[in-house]
Amino acid sequence: MIIEVKNLKKTYEGAVPVHAVKNINLNVAKGEFVAIMGRSGSGKSTLLHQLGLLDTPTDGEIIIDGVNLVSLSAEQKTKFRLEKLGYVFQAYALLPELTALESVYLPLMLQGVGKKEYIKKATKMLGEVGLKERVHHLPCELSGGEQQRVALARAIINNPKILFADEPCANLDSESSKTILNLLKKLNEELGQTIVMVSHDSEDKKYVERVIWLKDGLIEKEEKVS
């Protein structure tokens, strides 16, 4: 298993504590394309944030690629995110001052890759997501779908072990959504990329292999999709 989650809990303290994730155990195999679904407030994004090291669980264990994430220091988590994980956000999360090419090669730059090399790889990656003609455009010059494709290219440029996608199509029209989901499916089928995607649209089931349904911070059921 590339992801093992044991007794995961996440509580947001406050006047009234919110138990967003109550006690979750799940596994994801290498090369699997899994969707986490459920109604609003079921804990989907919270679960994804814990798995993607964007947040710290209150309790429990997360083991990714044999590494217990909870035991990592802040610097180790940063390095892990850079080298092993890719993240696609709902709202694209591109830096407004960087062109498509610069956004995509930034993770390579952080890895110490040479300039010629990172430009070459980033250009190729943008070609693979269908943005060969848009490499020097800023986010404000790209459509929503194009921005999300840039975000996707950035997320996978470092060949992550796992790609996390948090409602990647929530802000897209149906055509652009289809493009993104097809790209994800292609990544999974052709390159064996392990993908965990959060979605609230049950139509997205047809792109994945398995759906984990959450309800009130717990796994309600798991559904294999043929």
Partner 1 sequence: MNIRASFFLAFTAVKRGSKGIVIMTILIMALAYVNIVFITSIFGGIIEGIEAEAINNQLGNIVITPGVDEKYIKNKAIEWIDAIPGVVGSATHYIDNAIISYDERNDGKDIKSGNWPVKSIDVPNEKKVTNIHNSIIEGSFLEPRDRDKIIIGKEIAGGHGGLMEEQSLGGVFVGDKIDVQFSNGIKRTYKIKGIFSTKGMQAVQMVFVTKKEMESVLNVNNWASEILVKIKNTGEEDVVINEIRQLGFQDEDIKRWDKLMGSTESASDSFGMISIILGVIGTFVAGITIFIIIFVSVVNKRVQIGILKAIGMGEGTIVLSFLMQALFYGIAGILIGISFMMFVLYPLFLAHPLDFPMAWVSLKITANTIMVSNISLFMASLIGGLIPAYNGVKKEILKLIKD
Binding site for partner 1 (CB under 8 A): 49, 52, 54-56, 74-75, 78-83, 85, 87, 89, 93-98, 102, 106-107, 109-110, 112, 138, 154-155, 158
Which residue from 54, 38, 43 is spatially nearest to 8, judged by alpha carbons?
A: 43
Closer by beta carbon to partner 1, 24 or else 154: 154
Minimum Å gap between C-beta 55 and partner 1 is: 5
Closer by beta carbon to partner 1, 101 or else 211: 101
Q: Are 52 and 85 in contact (CB under 8 A)?
A: yes
Q: Are 49 and 55 in contact (CB under 8 A)?
A: yes
Which residue from 211, 207, 205, 199 is spatially nearest to 40, judged by alpha carbons?
A: 199
Minimum Å gap between C-beta 157 and partner 1 is: 10
Minimum Å gap between C-beta 174 and partner 1 is: 26
What is the rounded (10 degree) CA torsion for 143, 148, 149, 151? Answer: 130
Which residue from 66, 58, 93 is spatially nearest to 164, judged by alpha carbons?
A: 93
Closer by beta carbon to partner 1, 54 or else 70: 54
Minimum Å gap between C-beta 222 and partner 1 is: 26
Residue 184: CA atoms inside 13 Å, Cβ hemisphere, count? 36
Residue 202: CA atoms inside 13 Å, Cβ hemisphere, count? 6
Q: Are 42 and 21 in contact (CB under 8 A)?
A: no
Minimum Å gap between C-beta 72 and partner 1 is: 13
Minimum Å gap between C-beta 78 and partner 1 is: 5
Q: Are 37 and 213 in contact (CB under 8 A)?
A: yes
Closer by beta carbon to partner 1, 49 or else 134: 49
Closer by beta carbon to partner 1, 63 or else 98: 98
Closer by beta carbon to partner 1, 154 or else 172: 154
Minimum Å gap between C-beta 52 and partner 1 is: 8
What is the CB neighbour count within 10 angstroms for residue 77? Answer: 16
Closer by beta carbon to partner 1, 15 or else 74: 74
How does strand 3-12 pair with strand 59-64? antiparallel
Ramachandran angles phi, psi of 104, nearest 5°: -75, -35
